[in-house]
């Protein structure tokens, strides 16, 4: 296994400065790189502020804070990556940009240097194809804010070596992260892959005037365990980020269930990107989440048959959002991308879910999952609700989840 002492982080933005902070706090010598001194100053200011909060809450000592800052350097020169054991890329989600960067890093870095990408959805093999060392290229997908979120997905490309995967996983664990291994180079990996269909359905409900963002979040959040619903999560991540993630999966798979609804493209055109621009599905200009008159006429007016009260309506909305996530999770098991436990762990840690989608399916009853999805598919023709073959075979075999004693888990 490759020994990591020095880390070079490309990108000083939200994800990059968080990765640099945690690596420095773990005792690595870290250099953070970006294209301008101004970007680096903003990144360092975020790190200093985050470390200060950790210290004020007693999570680190003053000595740890000082040591982390002393172990951090900044540079606008990519050539300084030549001294790193591990380079982590955290630049915008554009394949061409990442390929250009990795081609440059391949020329700059010694042959033993591991090149990691923090991409949230793009194929690792596609990024690695720009280098002469595909065996040394690996995905280390952190979740933001990096200092607070515990999950890191480890993804290999088709040619990533076992040593590189092990090195990346051990390094992520040394930063205090819990890891899940994605068994195939699979667009969207685990957490984003299974949650993207539900997020897109939430946006489609708003677009079609079925429900307001606030109504959706009220129906599809889980109290203290997950206080933020899908609309707030997209606003916090950035509508452009959610859109680009979905498009990366769609372009890789060609599956229509990953094609974002036109509303998201309109929001990007209007610079309504969520919290970072002040407006998204909510108004954030005051610094707080405020519902407002979103630009879709008649929102909240439509009702499904049988929705005579708010409880029935909330249950209907919740099914529309949660079932696509459950069905996509079942497809991942069906195709051998990840084990049920890793899928559930990634969703719990990556999106603060109280239980994973396959745990949820077992608790609901797989026959009820099938019936609910089939009913919506029959009404809408939406492929997000088309039942995978594995679900059909499990129901036919009597593996219905908790009520039968066996489903994705044994009970």
CA–CA distance, 189 with 193 (Å, rounded to integer): 6
Distance, in Å, from the CA atom of 141 to the CA atom of 189, rounded to the nearest integer, reads 9
CA distance readout (Å), 138 to 117, 133, 181: 6, 11, 11
Give the span between the Cα atoms of 19 and 118, in whole angstroms: 9
Helix (H, G, I), strand (E, B) or coil at 279: strand
Q: Which of 50, 118, 123, 192 is catalytic?
A: 192
Bridge-based pairing of strands 151-156 and 137-142 is: antiparallel
Helix (H) or strand (E) holding 45: helix 37-56
Dihedral of the alpha carbons of 282, 285, 287, 293, in degrees to the nearest 10: -30
Q: Which of 46, 141, 186, 328 is catalytic?
A: 141
| Residue in 182, 129, 124 with CA at minimum distance from that of residue 152 | 182
**Which of 17, 120, 316, 384 does the annotation list as catalytic?**
120
User: CA dist 295 to 213, 272, 291, Å?
Assistant: 11, 11, 12
Task: Please say if 192 is a catalytic residue.
Answer: yes
User: Is 186 a catalytic site residue?
Assistant: no
Residues 205 and 320: beta-carbon distance below 8 Å: yes
- 328 has catalytic annotation: no
| Catalytic residue chosen out of the listed positions 153, 169, 215, 359 | 153
User: DSSP letters along 368-406, please?
Assistant: HHHHHHHHHHHHH--GGGPPPHHHHHHHHTT--BGGGTB
Confirm whether 307 is a catalytic residue. no
Cβ distance 178 to 349 under 8 Å?
yes
- Residues that are catalytic: 120, 141, 153, 192
């Amino acid at each position: 296994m490759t020994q990591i002492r020095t880390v070079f982080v490309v990108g000083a933005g939200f994800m990059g400065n968080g990765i640099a902070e945690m690596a420095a706090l773990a005792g690595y010598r870290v250099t953070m790189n970006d294209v301008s001194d101004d970007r680096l100053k903003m990144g360092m200011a975020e790190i200093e502020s985050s470390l200060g909060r950790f210290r004020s809450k007693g999570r680190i000592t003053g000595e740890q804070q000082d040591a982390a800052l002393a172990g951090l350097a900044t540079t606008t020169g990519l050539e300084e990556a030549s001294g790193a054991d591990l380079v982590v890329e955290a630049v915008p989600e554009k394949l061409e940009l990442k390929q250009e960067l990795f081609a440059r890093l391949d020329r700059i870095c010694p042959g033993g240097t591991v090149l990691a990408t923090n991409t949230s959805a793009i194929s690792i093999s596609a990024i690695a194809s720009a280098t002469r060392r595909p065996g040394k290229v690996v995905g280390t997908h952190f979740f933001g804010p990096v200092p607070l979120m515990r999950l890191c997905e480890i993804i290999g490309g088709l040619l990533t070596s076992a040593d590189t995967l092990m090195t990346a996983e051990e390094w992520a664990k040394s930063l205090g992260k819990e890891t899940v291994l994605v068994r195939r180079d699979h667009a969207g990996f685990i957490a984003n892959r299974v949650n993207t269909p539900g997020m897109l359905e939430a946006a489609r409900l708003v677009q079609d005037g079925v429900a307001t963002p606030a109504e959706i979040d009220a129906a599809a959040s889980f109290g203290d365990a997950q206080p933020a619903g899908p609309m707030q999560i997209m606003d916090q991540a950035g509508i452009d980020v959610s859109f680009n993630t979905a498009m990366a999966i769609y372009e890789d798979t060609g599956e229509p269930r990953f094609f974002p609804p036109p509303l998201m493209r309109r929001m990007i055109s209007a610079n309504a990107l969520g919290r970072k621009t002040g407006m998204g599905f909510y108004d954030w200009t005051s610094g707080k989440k405020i519902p407002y008159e979103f630009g879709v006429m008649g929102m909240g007016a439509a009702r499904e048959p049988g929705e005579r009260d708010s409880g029935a309506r909330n249950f209907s909305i919740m099914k529309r959002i949660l079932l696509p996530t459950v069905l996509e999770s079942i497809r991942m098991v069906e195709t051998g991308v990840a084990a049920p436990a890793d899928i559930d762990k990634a969703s719990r840690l990556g999106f603060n879910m109280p239980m994973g989608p396959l745990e949820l399916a077992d608790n609901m009853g797989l026959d009820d999952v099938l019936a609910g999805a089939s009913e919506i598919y029959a009404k809408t023709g939406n492929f997000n609700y088309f039942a995978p073959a594995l679900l059909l075979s499990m129901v036919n075999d009597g593996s219905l989840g908790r009520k039968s004693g066996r489903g994705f888990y044994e009970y």
